[in-house]
Amino acid sequence: MELFNIKECDIKGKKVFIRCDFNVPMDEYGNITDDRRIRSALSTISYCLDQGCAIILASHFGRPKGEPDDKYTLAPIARRLHQLLKIEVQMAEDVVGESAQKLASELKGGEVLLLENLRFEKGETKNDPELSAALASMAEVYVNDAFGVSHRAHASVEGITQYFDDTHKAAGFLLQKEIQFFGTLLDRPVRPFAAIVGGSKVSGKLEALINLLPKVDKVLIGGGMAFTFLKALGHDVGNSLVEDDLLDEAINIMDEAKRLGVKFYLPVDVVAAEKFAPDAMSRLCSVQEIPHGWMGLDIGPATVRLYRQVLADVQTILWNGPMGVYEMDRFARGSNKIAHFVADSYATTVVGGGDTADLVQRVGLDEEITFISTGGGASLELLEGKILPGVKPLLK
């Protein structure tokens, strides 16, 4: 996909609206615990500053219910941007109200304004044309650098692009990098190419799996979704998470992998627990011996060894979805072991954002991965072969 790039736009001295993804994790005291998404936007912001632009930054944070909520203010983001850019970052009290309009109209070249949380406006997630027009009226150029929300047809992502012609809208450096990286990964991977697919449900990864099968050499399944495949093969998986309506689809996927000559691997052992709780009684067992009424919450050591052997000769690894309930330390061991092996691999390693990116960051391996996507849902839709709503208006 060829996108209009920010370098192809005449932005010198202009007022630029940059849609960013500053939806970062914070602790209960409002302190940012991982600023990777903020740092990822700095190259685009700095480039615009070098061009003498007046910059209006916009982002959502959390899930406010379409109205102002102090819990979801972007004030901590403004403070972190000030620390990273080493210049003053003005903060609007609203999104398109009196404060935002006044500050935007007075903004001069070399200055930065951050609007308040976009989702304080009900029209943002509804792709409301009035909100799109109000946002667009603040600037002369629109730049999308928010890969993490580009799969959403929201007012600041898709709707706003209708108010700028092709010479005044473009992809930022981060968005361009994400699209190009996944394009190369799927079209011209260095082989052997393995996909590690985990997470809780098959339904969330179904289309991605179907689209990946003709492109990969090996598929390794983990997480809760593995039990739908195991049950489809006739195993008694106890009370493990299973999507019974997808058992036939699971068989079809495995049959298609066999037809294409793709090696398809499922766990051979699990850490099973009597209930979904960090203090639950647990034990290691093979997938054929899960106790009645118990549930599998992590892959076991034999599966870890098997997956290490399977990955030993691959040249490209794509990982989307943890291998177990990594948020609970007792059921994070399998995911952590795989993370260390992927990080130590000589292959090109790609982590598909979301929970997997969080997992890799938790174990301190984010610097060892070739590429970590900033968007879980967006990267998944790319893997499904879709053109994202926020990307389509920027295509050449």
- What pLDDT, in 10s, does the model give residues 322-380? 999 999 999 999 999 999 999 999 999 999 878 899 899 899 998 999 999 988 889 98
- What pLDDT, in 10s, does the model give residues 63-105? 998 999 999 999 999 999 999 999 999 999 999 999 999 999 9
Closest alpha carbon to 322 in 335, 305, 331, 339: 335
Are the CB atoms for 256 and 288 separated by under 8 Å?
A: no
Is the confidence at residue 302, as pLDDT, over 80? yes
User: What secondary structure, in 3-state letters, does the chain show?
Assistant: CCECEHHHCCCCCCEEEEECCCCCCECCCCCECCCHHHHHCHHHHHHHHHCCCEEEEECCCCCCCCCCCHHHCCHHHHHHHHHHHCCCEEECCCCCCHHHHHHHHHCCCCCEEECCCHHHCCCCCCCCHHHHHHHHCCCCEEEECCHHHCCCCCCCCCHHHHHCCHHHEEECHHHHHHHHHHHHHHHCCCCCEEEEECCCCCCCCHHHHHHHCCCCCEEEECCCCHHHHHHHCCCCCCCCCCCHHHHHHHHHHHHHHHHHCCEEECCCEEEEECCCCCCCCEEEEECCCCCCCCEEEEECHHHHHHHHHHHCCCCEEEEECCCCCCCCHHHCHHHHHHHHHHHHCCCEEEECCHHHHHHHHHCCCHHHCCEECCCHHHHHHHHCCCCCCCCHHHEC
Is the confidence at residue 60, as pLDDT, over 80? yes
What's the confidence (pLDDT) of residue 43?
97
Average pLDDT, the chain: 94
Place of tokens 């190419």: 193
What's the confidence (pLDDT) of residue 380?
87
What's the confidence (pLDDT) of residue 262?
97
What's the confidence (pLDDT) of residue 204?
85
What's the confidence (pLDDT) of residue 266?
98
What's the confidence (pLDDT) of residue 67?
94
Model confidence at 30, pLDDT cuts 50, 70, 90, reads confident
- Active-site residue set: 37, 201, 354, 377
- What pLDDT, in 10s, does the model give residues 180-214? 999 888 889 999 999 999 988 888 888 889 999 99
What's the confidence (pLDDT) of residue 319?
95
What's the confidence (pLDDT) of residue 354?
82
Mean pLDDT of 294-311: 97
What's the confidence (pLDDT) of residue 54?
98
- What pLDDT, in 10s, does the model give residues 228-255? 999 999 999 999 999 999 999 999 999 9
Is the confidence at residue 1, as pLDDT, over 80? no
If one compares 394 and 34, the residue with the highest pLDDT of the two is 394
Percent of the chain with pLDDT over 70: 100
If one compares 200 and 391, the residue with the highest pLDDT of the two is 391
